[in-house]
Chains A and B, each alone.
Chain A
Amino acid sequence: MHWARAFAESTIGKKIFMAASGVILVGFVLVHMTGNLLMFQGPAAINHYSAFLKSSAPLLWAVRITLLVSVAVHIGSAWSLTLVARAARPARYARHHAQVSTWGARSMRTGGVLLFGFIVFHLLHLTTGNVHPEFSPSDVYGNVVVGLRMPVVAAFYVVAMIALGLHLAHGVSSLFQTLGLNHPHWNPIRHRLAIVLAVLVFTGFSTIPLAVAFGVLR
């Protein structure tokens, strides 16, 4: 297993782990976003969907554990690579002009930390209900509407979705390169795919806190 260790300890190996776990998380985000949009079909639709997701405990936990492991691998690798990068440039430039870096690329680390904070809060808010004012395990619709009625909470959700959009705008295109899929025919397509997914995910998720804030969902 020497090769596996060498792979996991290399900077490229860590990046490949990040890309692979990122693919899983992007898949989850798309499914989750689609499910959330059932909010607009009323309480029955989303509550049935939630009951359906929870109908098989082993399956639910298999998915949850996969997601938790993905998040852990993703953040663990990011953390370790950040430390390596910091150490690689101990003295800063007096003047450094980045030429081509995008907002997405630059915000990956801070945005990632924000997203982690969001995920923790979000799970305590709408999954376990620990930080929710009136949590009811069977009434997802009510939990969302009541939970997002506080403007700060709704604003935090929207800000987190901006961070998620930026993260995906860079990440989704970047992961192809990390996995070795760089080809002149496909590069413009993967860059566009990343932007489309980023906008889609941002819009899809943000409509819900915004709809609650503006009284469309109540």
Chain B
Amino acid sequence: MRITLRVWRQLGPTDPGRLETRDVPDVSPDMSFLEMLDVVNEGLIAAGETPIAFDHDCREGICGACSMMINGVPHGPNRATTTCQLHMRTFRDGDTIVVEPWRAKAFPVVRDLVVDRSALDRIISAGGFIGVSTGSAADANATPIPKTVADRAMDSAQCIGCGACVAACPNASAMLFTAAKVVHLGLLPQGQPERYRRVLSMVRQMDLEEFGGCTNFGECQDACPKEINVAVIGRMNADFLKASLSNRDEAA
């Protein structure tokens, strides 16, 4: 099949950037979207031009690196897929495909489609962990956890930190990401001691990174390749409210 690619090219953080149009005549429907970009890049290299920079790593939907906006939707039109899992057969012969980087102040463009997502890492560093030494692996059933709770924690733990929620949100909000992490740990017994301190510091960091707020559009949930539900945001809101009202730094 043959497609027309309109792809964002930007030399560096300060370059204004522009959409570049390329004809891609030799696309196999069985290629993944990233393999299609690989082919385009091989052509560019052969012609002595600079290849299109894009992030990728696992190419199996688990690392979250392959962020790009495809025809106005994060990771393209399919539900619950990352770009590496998207196949060219999703498109039709002759289609024009617009490819852009995530757009958010907190995600500065490094080059072409590559953005710097360390803002998400800093939110994790602010509290997305359990700060106690756990020793060697405990017996699996030593701490009983109801199945429904374990399932919900697992559902939130699926977040791969790709940033699609931010990219899709009209407010460029990182609420779904932050909430997934807050809820994943906050549901489990091991996460209880730091539950309220965690939500306060992670939300504070999220705001410091200059993400927007949540207005419950629901675009994040639809864009999430791991189908994380906005219910986690509701739970984070509740935890945040409770933490704000009851948090004390020292025993008083």
Contacts and interface: CB of A to CB of B under 8 A. Distances in A.
B207 A10 contact: yes
Q: Which of B71, B173, B239, B245 has the most CB of A within 10 A?
A: B173
A177 interface: yes
A208 interface: no
A55 B134 CA distance: 68
Interface string A156-183: 0000000000000010011011111111
A177 B207 CA distance: 19
Interface in B80-127: 98, 100, 103-106
Given A87-B105, A88-B211, A3 B247 contact: yes
B42 interface: no
At the interface, is chain B mostly helix, strand, loop or mixed? mixed
Contact of B207 (A11, A90, A101): A11
B231 interface: yes
A81 B248 CA distance: 27
A70 to B, nearest CB: 18
A92 B19 CA distance: 13
Interface residues of A, number: 46
B216 A85 contact: no
A177 B221 CA distance: 14
B72 interface: yes
A97 B213 contact: no
A177 B204 contact: no
B217 A98 contact: yes
Interface of B: 6, 8, 19, 69, 71-73, 98, 100, 103-106, 168, 170-173, 200, 203-204, 206-207, 210-219, 221-223, 230-231, 233-241, 244-245, 247
Interface of A: 3-4, 6-7, 9-16, 81, 84-85, 87-101, 105-106, 108, 170, 173-174, 176-184, 187
Nearest 5 A/B pairs, CB to CB: A180-B238, A182-B234, A11-B213, A88-B212, A85-B212
